[in-house]
Amino acid sequence: MKAFFKTKSGKLVAIGTFLVLLIAAFCWHQTYQNDQILDHKVNSAVTMKTNRAALKEEKDIKPSTKNELIRNKKKALQLGVDKYPNGYLIIPSIGIRLPIYNRANNYTLALGVGKSYYLDSEFGKGNFCVAGHDMEQPGILLSDLHRINLGDQIILTGYNGQRYKYRVTSKKVVPPTVKIVDGKPVQGSAFYMPKDQEKPIVTVYTCANGGVNRLVVQGELI
């Protein structure tokens, strides 16, 4: 065997084997790093502050592939977006705990959920509406939202220990368009604004059917 590796053919085999092992080690390391980024959870304290990246406005946010999510999340962490959660969305029954940001963009949605439509909304008032990604991978962002049941609790936690509890009253898959009548979203839509005598609601929505439709979950303030 030693004699073989001293030959030209043997040296080529040795070099080829080394290169294969080197590439395999690189791929394993890259996969490990990507998994670490994907599994990273935001645990920073809630703050009323923010940074430029968290407030970046993007009008056309599309469903993310796994590689796009990893790339956006890595950049978001580099820019410190994880240090500025404006609250947390907690759904105990399905193990969701995600940071809430005041804007929905590729950075904030790589880490958690962002306000949608009503950008000035407040916890416990009107319709507090947030959007997030369904990566169709358990434990990642809103991928488990489809497992929520009517009657489950949705909890919003904010600055200085604010805590608002909602009871899920609606769960449905709808088209991405919203019907508007007299300049206002109709009742039952994701962006419906409760009237004065109606209870405040929370709306959590994500993509469904590969991005063709939307899964919309709503709950009333308890």
CATH number at residue 152: 2.40.260.10
Between CA 93 and CA 166 the distance in angstroms is 13
Catalytic annotation present for 207: yes
**Looking at 10-14, 69-73, 118-122, 209-213, which range is the least confident one?**
10-14
- Percent residues over pLDDT 90 in the chain: 56
Specify the 3-state DSSP secondary structure of 211. Answer: helix
pLDDT of residue 28: 42
Are 168 and 148 in contact by the 8 Å Cβ rule? The answer is yes
Distance CA 194, CA 125 (A): 9
Compute the Cα dihedral for 192, 154, 75, 29 and give only its sign. Answer: negative
Instruction: Give residue 35's pLDDT.
Output: 64
Q: Per-residue pLDDT averaged across 100-116, rounded?
A: 94
Q: How many domains does the chain have?
A: 1
Question: Rounded CA gap, 114 and 106, in Å?
Answer: 10
Query: 159-168 pLDDT, tens per residue?
Result: 888 899 999 9
The pLDDT of residue 8 is 66
Q: How far, in Å, CA of 222 to CA of 203, rounded?
A: 14
pLDDT exceeds 50 at position 25: no
pLDDT number for residue 98 = 97
Whether 21 is in a domain gets the answer: no
Lowest average pLDDT, out of 22-31, 36-45, 117-126, goes to 22-31
Instruction: Give the helix/strand (H/E) hosting 155.
Output: strand 153-157
Q: Which of 27, 129, 133, 146 is catalytic?
A: 133
Is 133 a catalytic site residue? yes
Residue 86 pLDDT class (50, 70, 90 cuts):
very high
Contact call for residues 113 and 96 (beta carbons, < 8 A):
no
Rounded mean pLDDT of the chain? Answer: 85
Asked whether residue 37 is domain-assigned, the answer is no
Which pair of tokens denotes residue 32? 């490990």
pLDDT above 80 (res 4): no
pLDDT of 219 higher than 80: yes
Does residue 28 fall inside a structural domain?
A: no
* Assigned domain for 25 exists: no
- pLDDT at residue number 9: 66
- Per annotation, catalytic residue among 40, 129, 146, 207: 207
Residue 26 pLDDT class (50, 70, 90 cuts) = very low
pLDDT > 70: percent of the chain:
81
In a domain, 148, yes or no: yes
For residue 195, give the DSSP letter: -
Provide the residue range defining the domain that includes 153: 47-221
Q: What are phi and psi of 140, to 5 degrees?
A: -105, 115
Structural domain contains residue 210? yes
In a domain, 165, yes or no: yes
Residue 131, SS3? strand
> What is the model's pTM?
0.82
Q: Is residue 6 part of a domain?
A: no
